Chain A
Amino acid sequence: MATKTFAGKTVQVNDEGFMTNPAEWDREIAVEIAKEEGIDPLTDAHWKVIDFCRAEGTKTGKAPTLRQITTGTGLSTKELFTLFPKGPAKKVAHISGLGKPEGCV
């Protein structure tokens, strides 16, 4: 299993760079991964999405799908694609320290 260091903390990641142990995640790590994804700084709106994903991840063990995010946070699809441009499904899960979303919508 590969590891990667973010903000001075070494975490386990898979081949695609997704964290494999959500318990190792913290907000400083999220900031670093977001930079890697080209999102800097993380605004309150970004955190609203990330916090929702973390809560869902803890509850279900899976990253929520885009539709679950828009339904759960009240953000529109447009807003979500503006906050996390070019592939929010993967980016949000990546930054939130979760695996790729498993659902299709």
Chain B
Amino acid sequence: MSENRHIAFICSKGNLDMVYPALVMGWAALGNGIDVTIFFTFWGMDMINKHRVDHLEVPPVANSSMKMNMMGVPGYIGIPQILGVIPGMTPFASALMKSKMKALGVPTVREYLEMLSDGGAKMYACKMSVDMFKLSKDDFLPCVEDIVTAGDFMDMTDGAQIIFI
């Protein structure tokens, strides 16, 4: 392993299933002595928005990999898309996923971000997205160090491996 390996994640999604990859890999990186920077942009800002972080969801609509075996139905039977649009289906799927992760001992998003921050990861929100969504630093969790431009992000990730999610 090289001395100063550095990994940067760009989190652009807010769906529950898309917020975990950076958290899991970022945590693994810190555990292995790799520097971590995370840049939250667009929907990814839901992860660090203190009003949103505990309410992230995963919609069953247009998700062809979500099968009913998650609910204990044997085989790989799909969820008819027409059922997916029924009110309550998204909270149902989200609650199911959260309960499965809890059973595995996976921390919540809020807790994961705190662990990453305590482990030394640097986290930033995207200036353009912040302006577009009319947010301010007060809307974010304390783990967010600053609101920065894409150019700032490029400067601070010089030489890093970058993963876009």
Contact = CB atoms under 8 A, between A and B. Distances in A.
Contacts of A89: 28, 31-32
Nearest to B3: A86
Contacts of B30: 81, 87
A87 B97 CA distance: 30
Contacts, number: 39
A104 B28 CA distance: 7
B31 A66 contact: yes
A28 to B, nearest CB: 25
A59 interface: no
A67 B33 contact: no
Given A67-B107, A90-B32, A104 B27 contact: yes
Interface in A45-102: 66-67, 76-78, 81, 86-91, 101
B31 A77 contact: no
Interface residues on A, range: 10 to 19
B118 interface: yes
B91 interface: no
A78 B34 CA distance: 16
Contacts of B32: 87, 89-90
A98 to B, nearest CB: 14
A105 B105 contact: yes
Contacts of B114: 77
A47 B118 CA distance: 21
B148 interface: no
Q: Please indicate which of the listed interface residues B28, B31, B118 has the most CB atoms of chain A within 10 Å of its own CB.
A: B31
A90 B30 CA distance: 10
Interface in B20-51: 24, 27-28, 30-34
A81 B34 CA distance: 12
Contact of A105 (B24, B34, B118): B24
B119 interface: yes
Contacts of A76: 118
Nearest 9 Cβ contacts at the A-B interface = A87-B33, A89-B31, A77-B118, A86-B33, A78-B118, A87-B32, A77-B115, A81-B119, A104-B24
15 contacts: A67-B105, A67-B107, A67-B115, A77-B119, A81-B118, A81-B119, A81-B120, A87-B30, A87-B31, A87-B33, A89-B32, A91-B33, A101-B31, A104-B27, A105-B106
Interface of B: 24, 27-28, 30-34, 105-107, 114-115, 118-120
